[in-house]
Structure 1
Amino acid sequence: MSEGPAAGLKVIDVATLFAGPVAAMLLGDYGADVLKIEHPKGDNSRTHGPSRGGSSLWWKVIGRNKRAITLYLGSPEGQHLFRKLAREADVIVENFRPGTLEKWGLGYDELAAENPGLIMLRVTAFGQHGPYAHRPGFGTIAEAMSGFASITGQPDGPPTLPPFGLADGIAGIAGALAVMMAVNARQRTGKGQVVDLALIEPIMAVLGAQAITYDQAGLIQKRTGNRSDKNAPRNTYKTADDKWVALSTSSTSIAARTMTLVGWPEVVNEPWFSSASGRRQHVDELDGKVAEWIRARPMKEVVQAFEEAEAALAPIYDVSDIFEDPQYRALDTITTVQDPELGPVRMQNVIFRMSGTPGTIRWTGRPLGADNTEVFTRELGLSEAEMAELTKAGVI
């Protein structure tokens, strides 16, 4: 049993690919009892990405801290069992197209009639209403329509999509936050509620001031590659040993230290240098000076020099570098967990540390239907004969 900050919450995760399951994973990381319900054929996450020994490595992460059962919600028997589980739940996380749960008699109103405190997180591409509500969509659609892809990439290149589930990850974090807000509200009102989470919105929310800038100034942000459209210098640079580093000079003081380090201290006294917008107008000169200095030195020397100058620069890592970095090791960002099929595995840890009620990875993603017996017989009271009949019918 967990003593994390979400301990005591009973969460049913009936979502897939990927924002909803991420939200449920985060709640589980901090102590919630998460029950993952999959189709008897298995969740799509189990076949997503690389595997080892027949075990999906992504599933080991996104399924962690969740009990796993199988249940076909399209059948009357499955719907009956789901209602029984929902009576005792605090939270349901789902991402079916709008109207699907209602078609099965499992809509929020039906479930809340028996469990008024129920919170339902509904994750879809476009939200529960509007002209696009019934369109299918994944994170890629949100990355395209949110404005993210249009500002990502080189100025003379195509819009660029992220090589991972960025919109889903942001929405998953937002979903977990929304659930905990709803839990807090329930403490005051005694009532649950529906959280309508559209993938297109959380990613848009983190893109900064684009909306108000367009509204008030008519400006549309363009692709600038690794440069910033707001300040300079900011870019990625190749070192003498063909490594890459990234530099940010969002504050004037950091910009001044950087230009002094690379041998152009007099530019700090230019009137335009004192503002980010002024420096942005001279980006080619500033960027060129920094690139020339960095290209003449190996990465280790560059990083050390910038650290001594108290300027913000870092090496560009791949995952193998992350595994070796002493700061990540100190934080235990990549932690070791025992898996019954693979033995010790390393994966990203819980995303923040709490001094009094910390989160933890109690177990990795479990085999398909691993907890069917515990849930259906011990918690719902089904007999072995009933279990066998439901299994034969493809319900579990």
Structure 2
Amino acid sequence: MSNLPRHEYDPTATGALADVRVVDLSRLVAGNVLTKVLADHGAEVIKIEPLEGDTLRAWKVGGVETSWKTICRNKFSVALNLRNPTAIEAVLALCETAAIFVESFRPGVLEAMGLSPETLLARNPALVIVRISGWGQTGPFAHKPGFGTLVEGYSGFAAVNGFADREPVLPPMFMGDAYAGLHGAGSTMIALRHAEKTGRGQVIDLSLFEPIFNVLEPQMANWRITGTLKPRTGSRSTNTSPRNAYRTADGGWVCLSASTQGMTEKLFRSIGREDLITDPRFARNPDRVRNGVELDEIIAGYVGARSMAENLAHFDATGVTIGPIQDAQSLEADHYVAAREALIEVPDADMPGGWLPMGGHVPRLSETPTILARPAPRLGEHNEAILGAETCTRLRQAGAMAV
């Protein structure tokens, strides 16, 4: 029996973006993360899916669309054959009543479909158009397909991730896409604010590459100053020490970061090594970074002689910044995660036990909290609710919608 907080969907719930209609033609992760943020704050996000569904639906575990269900909550689904001109006209009609339009096709595809920014803005001059692509709408790679994996390598992330004696390591989740989606949500709100003030929409050129590259940008200045490349150091930092992952006596792992001088001195006292405070190898942060291997051996010896519980209790009592390295199993049972409702459960008949764990409400706004209005939609679930019965009949007759 899970101890996670359980929430029911409330279809009457409204949020700060309740009057904002979003037409979302994006696929996979970045666009869906972007519109999840908007939907969680009450926007009416209409997913325009191909007749076979968004590719995200195919990412199943045990036959369950876990990625779709967690990233596409609070949205509506309309399934159309976008190669059919009648379907394109239906999309244009929706855009006339929308505030935001999101797509993630390769540059040029939208124009070929008859949905160019010029066409969309002619129908709705205040429309905010978000164009997501691997490499951006301009530049020498604009024509190339691009997934998050490619930008995680091209941006320099993989080159510094991992251990020095091993290959570069790509992230084990859709990090590049998520960064782009979150960047995109913020820029969309900026553009929406401008549109509301001026009545003029605009086009947002959002690549997957630039958001993750921006997170890594200090490396470029460091390279220019030093002429040396940042090495792969595992969990050790090249900026501060001590900072690493240490194994406990019972086989667990803890992460520790003492990024200030005061915290480092507190750590040294807590392990009974006050002498290290004045040891020239470890007296100041630059010294500790240079002698990080030796310092890690000292800390690892202390941590490794004690169990996970003993380490956490001891360092918590002494005020040292240390925590467990957790996995899905431990997170599900974690009291902090439950207390903060960082992970909640919602009803879902496809899940074992009938409950689906998913992320809770983030960020937390005091006056306009996020909502949980409806589960991720079935393919084409809202065709008639969004387009109307008459339009759906016309689309079916034209072969633009499944029967």
TM-score by length of 1: 0.94
SS at match of 1:305: helix
Q: What residue in structure 1 maps to residue 153 of structure 2?
A: 144
Q: Deviations over 1:7-38 (max 9, x none)?
A: 21111111111101110111101111100110
* CA distance in structure 2 between the partners assigned to 1:182 and 1:273 by the alignment: 49
Q: Deviations over 1:332-373 (max 9, x none)?
A: 111122236544322111321111110022222111110011
How far does residue 286 in structure 1 lie from its aligned partner after superposition? Answer: 1.1
Q: What residue in structure 2 maps to residue 23 of structure 1?
A: 34
Range moving further from structure 2, 2-11 or 178-187? 2-11
- What amino acid sits opposite 1:42 in the alignment? G
* CA distance in structure 1 between the partners assigned to 2:369 and 2:384 by the alignment: 30
Given that residues 38 and 71 in structure 1 are in contact (C-alpha distance below 8 angstroms), is that contact kept between their aligned partners in structure 2? yes
Matched, 1:353 2:361: no
- What amino acid sits opposite 1:59 in the alignment? W
Matched, 1:42 2:53: yes
Q: What residue in structure 1 maps to residue 397 of structure 2?
A: 389
* CA distance in structure 2 between the partners assigned to 1:117 and 1:188 by the alignment: 10
Aligned pairs for 1:173-322 within 5 A? 173-207=182-216, 209-270=218-279, 273-322=282-331
Range moving further from structure 2, 255-264 or 280-289? 255-264
* CA distance in structure 2 between the partners assigned to 1:341 and 1:153 by the alignment: 37
SS at match of 2:45: strand
Aligned pairs for 1:31-180 within 5 A? 31-52=42-63, 55-180=64-189
* CA distance in structure 2 between the partners assigned to 1:43 and 1:167 by the alignment: 19
- What amino acid sits opposite 1:145 in the alignment? Y
* CA distance in structure 2 between the partners assigned to 1:208 and 1:246 by the alignment: 25
Matched, 1:9 2:17: no
How far does residue 395 in structure 1 lie from its aligned partner after superposition? Answer: 6.5
How far does residue 174 in structure 1 lie from its aligned partner after superposition? Answer: 0.6
* CA distance in structure 2 between the partners assigned to 1:393 and 1:34 by the alignment: 21
How far does residue 2 in structure 1 lie from its aligned partner after superposition? Answer: 4.2
Q: Deviations over 1:42-96 (max 9, x none)?
A: 11111113144xx412111122111011012222111111111111111111100
* CA distance in structure 2 between the partners assigned to 1:234 and 1:368 by the alignment: 47
SS at match of 1:157: coil
Which consecutive unaligned segments of at least 5 residues does structure 2 have? 1-11
C-alpha spacing 1:274/1:119, structure 2 compared with 1 (3 Å) = farther
The CA RMSD measured in Å over matched residues stands at 1.7
How far does residue 387 in structure 1 lie from its aligned partner after superposition? Answer: 4.5
Given that residues 338 and 363 in structure 1 are in contact (C-alpha distance below 8 angstroms), is that contact kept between their aligned partners in structure 2? no
How far does residue 274 in structure 1 lie from its aligned partner after superposition? Answer: 4.8
Q: What residue in structure 2 maps to residue 326 of structure 1?
A: 335
Total equivalences in the alignment = 390
How far does residue 217 in structure 1 lie from its aligned partner after superposition? Answer: 3.4
C-alpha spacing 1:284/1:383, structure 2 compared with 1 (3 Å) = closer
- What amino acid sits opposite 1:349 in the alignment? G
Higher RCO (CA 8 Å, separation ≥ 6 residues): 2
Given that residues 337 and 361 in structure 1 are in contact (C-alpha distance below 8 angstroms), is that contact kept between their aligned partners in structure 2? no
* CA distance in structure 1 between the partners assigned to 2:401 and 2:366 by the alignment: 46
Which consecutive unaligned segments of at least 5 residues does structure 1 have? none
Given that residues 65 and 364 in structure 1 are in contact (C-alpha distance below 8 angstroms), is that contact kept between their aligned partners in structure 2? yes
SS at match of 2:254: strand
- What amino acid sits opposite 2:51 in the alignment? P
Range moving further from structure 2, 230-239 or 295-304? 230-239
* CA distance in structure 2 between the partners assigned to 1:211 and 1:296 by the alignment: 40
* CA distance in structure 1 between the partners assigned to 2:261 and 2:370 by the alignment: 38
How far does residue 257 in structure 1 lie from its aligned partner after superposition? Answer: 1.3
* CA distance in structure 2 between the partners assigned to 1:115 and 1:92 by the alignment: 11
TM-score by length of 2: 0.93
Q: What residue in structure 1 maps to residue 4 of structure 2?
A: none
C-alpha spacing 1:291/1:376, structure 2 compared with 1 (3 Å) = same
C-alpha spacing 1:353/1:228, structure 2 compared with 1 (3 Å) = same
Given that residues 77 and 395 in structure 1 are in contact (C-alpha distance below 8 angstroms), is that contact kept between their aligned partners in structure 2? no
C-alpha spacing 1:28/1:340, structure 2 compared with 1 (3 Å) = farther
Given that residues 125 and 200 in structure 1 are in contact (C-alpha distance below 8 angstroms), is that contact kept between their aligned partners in structure 2? yes
Range moving further from structure 2, 12-21 or 289-298? 12-21
C-alpha spacing 1:395/1:81, structure 2 compared with 1 (3 Å) = farther
SS at match of 2:356: strand
Matched, 1:370 2:378: no
- What amino acid sits opposite 1:203 in the alignment? I
Range moving further from structure 2, 342-351 or 322-331? 342-351
Given that residues 3 and 357 in structure 1 are in contact (C-alpha distance below 8 angstroms), is that contact kept between their aligned partners in structure 2? no
